[in-house]
Amino acid sequence: MKQAPRGMVKDGQGAAPVAPRTRSPAVLLALAICAGLVFATFFALGTWQLKRLQWKLDLIERVEQRVHAPAVAAPGPERWPQINADADEYRRVRLSGTFLYALTARVQASTELGGGFWLLTPLRTADGSVVLVNRGFVPAKADVQSGTPEVGPAEVSGLLRMSEPGGGFLRHNDPAADRWYSRDVQAIASARGLSPAAPYFIDADAATASHDTGGNRPVGGLTVIAFHNNHLVYALTWYALALMVAGACFWVGREERNLRRRSAPSAAANADGIDRESEDGK
């Protein structure tokens, strides 16, 4: 027996078209609500990334201005509670005092010169407070002598940097073993009994390092100023996803409209067939 073609049903008089199946209004409403929420979420995330992009560009501009501005006096104890990265990091500062070379901390570093250590040495100022100074980089195999404690006075200029608590990548500072993987100001000061200690450290510039007298001379001025700025890529990605959702909604709506247009003549043909069958049965 021959089967009726798809979209047709077989009756006593032959095959009749079947009306295409369309979605109910409730299903279409639910789909529209879900799509609208997803679209709004993606669009909001893209807009947020654009705001982050503007914030990052403003931050980069402020940092550039600080780095190339004349040096100012390093913040004293009265200003320490207000120190923050957005307003103060990478500001060029100057400071004078006495280096405590015997309390230098060697912090593991990787630079353009290779692997080695940053030398963080406390600087005791005239008011008795302490500021850690990153005197510069020395290779891992360098024979760095601690020097003589409190040989000074010394003049320091460089960039103000915020503390780096915790440790390095997958490694944690070990104060008991005097192993340091990040420039954690509070931990280093506590391990060496330094108080009061500033909540920041200073990256000494090349001129300061060239006058260093504490053992093997470190290389200063190696501060790397770089900001990851992928916000535009993220924004375009979120907007593209939102556009894809909108495109999918348009496609579903168009298909639904075409189905309904095709269903109208099919339903009329079915109704006409039923009417003919009724007349024949009379």
* CB burial string 178-191: b at 16+ within 10 A, e below: eebbbbbbebbbeb
Beta strands 197-204 and 130-139 are parallel
The pTM (predicted TM-score) of the whole model is 0.66
Domain co-membership, 205 together with 116: yes
Ranges of the chain whose pLDDT falls below 50: 1, 4, 6-7, 9, 12, 146-150
Block residue for tokens 């269903």: 263
pLDDT at 269: 55
Please indicate, yes or no, if residue 135 is contained in any of the structural domains.
yes
Q: Which residues pair with 197 in a beta bridge?
A: 130
Taking only the tens place, the pLDDT of each residue in 243-259 is 999 998 888 878 877 77
The total domain count for the chain is 2
The confidence score (pLDDT) of residue 149 equals 45
Q: Which domain holds residue 127?
A: 91-210
Q: Identify whether 273 is part of a domain.
A: no
- Asked whether residue 37 falls in the same domain as residue 96, the answer is no
Shared-domain flag, residues 126 and 169: yes
Q: Are residues 51 and 153 in the same domain?
A: no
Statement to judge: residues 130 and 48 lie in one domain: no
User: Same structural domain for residues 106 and 175?
Assistant: yes
Whether residues 66 and 157 fall in one domain: no
What is the average pLDDT value for the chain, to the nearest integer? 81
- pLDDT score of 122: 95
Looking at the domain assignment, is residue 236 inside a domain? yes
Do 59 and 113 share a domain, yes or no? no
Residue 78 lies in a domain: no
Q: Do the domain assignments include residue 184?
A: yes
Looking at the structure, tell me whether residues 61 and 110 fall in a common domain.
no
64 and 100 both lie in a single domain:
no
Q: Rounded to 5 degrees, what are φ and ψ at 98?
A: -120, 125
Residue 270 lies in a domain: no
173 and 110 within one domain: yes
